[in-house]
A = this chain, B = another copy of it.
Amino acid sequence: SGAAAGAAASGTKIEWTLASSFPKNLDTIYGAAEVFAKRVKELSGGNFIINVKAAGEIVPGPEVMNAVKNKTVQIGHTASYYFFGTDATFAFDTAVPFGLTSRQHTAWMMHGGGMEVMREFFKQHNIVNFLGGNTGTQMGGWLKKEIKSVEDLKGLKLRIGGFAGKVLSKLGVVPQQIPGGEIYTALEKGTIDGAEWVGPYDDEKLGFYKVAPNYYYPGWWEGGANLSFYINAEEYAKLPDAYKVIVETASLEAHTDMQAKYDAKNPMALASLLGNGAKLHKFPDDVMMAAFKATQEVFAEESAKNANFKKVFDSWITFRHNQMQWFGLAEKSYADFTTANPWKP
């Protein structure tokens, strides 16, 4: 603390650029970087400035991780599963199909060994990672036509990000990688049959309900999508100790704040979507089961050929198993009752 005091008091001036993978209109997810930057500035007495840039301002959204790695920017805010093509291990820091929920992921990272294994992995990419938000369990997305069984997935062109595409391919889906801004037109023209995005609050803005009204849940490929702040390792090493503490605490505040915002905003957006004609559907049981089996196959294949993946997976799967058993008792039975028995205002 003596060192920290000295550094803070000396008022070392530092100015960083943060590249976000998200546009400003996704105010919840983009906003997490602003919450973080504001707090860093306040806690450093205005000496440590982080300038937040939206996707495309300096770095295209999908290039943020590379920009951090290569020191084009000092820090990025993104979903690491965008980079699963480089190494599937990246996906664990965001979400993998049938993975951890928001609370479970936070527990894994903070007290379940997750931060240690992920830091070791990101070190290979010259990056230090910090928690930076979660969306909660996402919705499964929008389909032009209803699906009744796993057979209906065959040949379906779905816009879906990241690792989940590999799993859906095994079920006959033809995954499409399309930037957020182009999805609506693709759905309208029928170039694609469906698209997943996030949840009601973000989905409403893009208007998918007008052209693909069947709204599926749950987004089993994103039981909780975690965002992180990624810092170039050399730039991080140069920070005074006091600023390292500031980064850690401010990122965690942004982390908690983003989930709270989504939770507070999603219910009203869902009501609005339903009022505008969105039709809710739960994924058929056989779709869920086939997807779960395909996920386990994909994980076995990946573990066999990728030592990084296997190392993280071995930590993660044990933690996941224990979490699901525990969450299946008090949390689940409480949710079962409270969601089935309305207490009207």
Residues of A within 8 A of B (CB): 1-2, 4-9, 11, 39, 41-47, 98, 101-104, 106-112, 136-140, 199-200, 217-220, 223, 242, 245-246, 249-250, 252-253, 255-257, 259-261, 263-268, 270-271, 280, 282-283, 288-289, 292, 296, 314, 317-345
For residue A139, which residues in chain B have a CB less than 8 angstroms away from its CB? 329-330
Looking across the interface, which residue of chain B has its beta carbon closest to that of A292?
Answer: B341
Cβ A110 vs Cβ B334 within 8 A: no
For residue A103, which residues in chain B have a CB less than 8 angstroms away from its CB? 102-103, 136, 259-260, 263
The 8 Å CB contact of A43, one of B104, B246, B268, B320, is B246
> Given contacts A43-B43, A136-B103, is CB(A112)–CB(B324) below 8 Å?
no
Known: A109-B260, A321-B344. 14 other contacts (CB 8 A): A4-B42, A42-B245, A43-B249, A101-B334, A106-B256, A110-B256, A111-B260, A136-B331, A139-B329, A220-B334, A252-B252, A289-B341, A327-B339, A328-B340
> Given contacts A259-B103, A317-B343, is CB(A326)–CB(B282) below 8 Å?
no
| A100: min CB distance to chain B, Å | 9
| A190: min CB distance to chain B, Å | 27
For residue A4, which residues in chain B have a CB less than 8 angstroms away from its CB? 42, 45-46
In the complex, what distance in Å separates the CA atom of A168 from the CA atom of B271?
35
Cβ B335 vs Cβ A332 within 8 A: yes
In the complex, what distance in Å separates the CA atom of A2 from the CA atom of B325?
50
Cβ B331 vs Cβ A101 within 8 A: yes
In the complex, what distance in Å separates the CA atom of A106 from the CA atom of B252?
14
For residue A110, which residues in chain B have a CB less than 8 angstroms away from its CB? 256-257, 260-261, 264
